[in-house]
Amino acid sequence: ATYNDEPTSWFYYPVFENFDSTKVVGSMTSLIYWPLFFDNIFPPTNNYGVTCVVENPCGDLSTFVVNGQKAEYLGPGDLHDRGYDHLVREIAFNDIATSSTTQTFSRTAVKLNNDLCPFTIRIHPTDRLQNSRITTQPYYIAISVFLVLLLVIIMGALYDFTVRQKIYRIIKRSRANRAIVEEFFPTQIRQRLLQADNSTNNAHSMGAATVNALGEHSSGGDDLAYLHAQPIADLFPS
């Protein structure tokens, strides 16, 4: 049967003479309008689609797509996307009815008969549902972590390069000073100058810089080193 060119199904429920008797004295007829049956099965915030295929052994076969709280009839036959066959979920309509609570299904109710034309509902995902679960957030997180690591590596390399250049300049200047001393001064004077130069370098490394009364920047280590040093003239015999 159809209603507005959309499928419907009839259910007949027996009416017994009393609760203790199985004598049927009448029947109630119920019409299931399948698009309405699938309405409001998802929360309002869920707008993702699934395909529902309703069939029975008597030849009835219809396909619906459920987007959020609204169901849409696609047409007769099995119209789901074959690419999602491996993700199908199937349930018998009778299982849905008997799984209801006591508030909606009486303990003395008669179960639906599965001997004639029991309905089965198959649920398949859709491209819309799949796309809603695909996100680029992991890529952004991976790129962010990579950029942070790259920045750390670059900063470490720059620091290492700066330290190496500073050490290289110190060594180069020390070698130049030593070459000048060895070239122009005798051995005794050379040792005195080198000792004084070492004392000056130690004073620099200890951070003993001071500012004199005129505001000129001078090294207190230099003054102390040359203050305690013996005059060079005493190295020459009279």
Task: For residue range 118-144, list pLDDT tens digits in order.
Answer: 889 999 998 888 877 777 888 899 999
> Of the candidates 112, 133, 154, which is a domain's last residue?
133
Q: Give domain status of residue 115, yes or no.
A: yes
pLDDT of residue 114: 73
- Per-residue pLDDT tens digits for 209-236: 444 444 444 444 444 444 455 555 555 4
Q: Is residue 64 part of a domain?
A: yes
Does the predicted TM-score (pTM) go above 0.95? no
Secondary structure E strands in the chain: 2-3, 6-16, 24-33, 49-55, 61-67, 70-76, 89-92, 120-125, 209-211, 217-219
If one counts the domains in the chain, the total is 2
Q: 15 with 114, same domain?
A: yes
Structural domain ending residue among the three candidates 133, 149, 169:
133
**Whose CA is closest to 111, among 122, 125, 124, 96?**
96
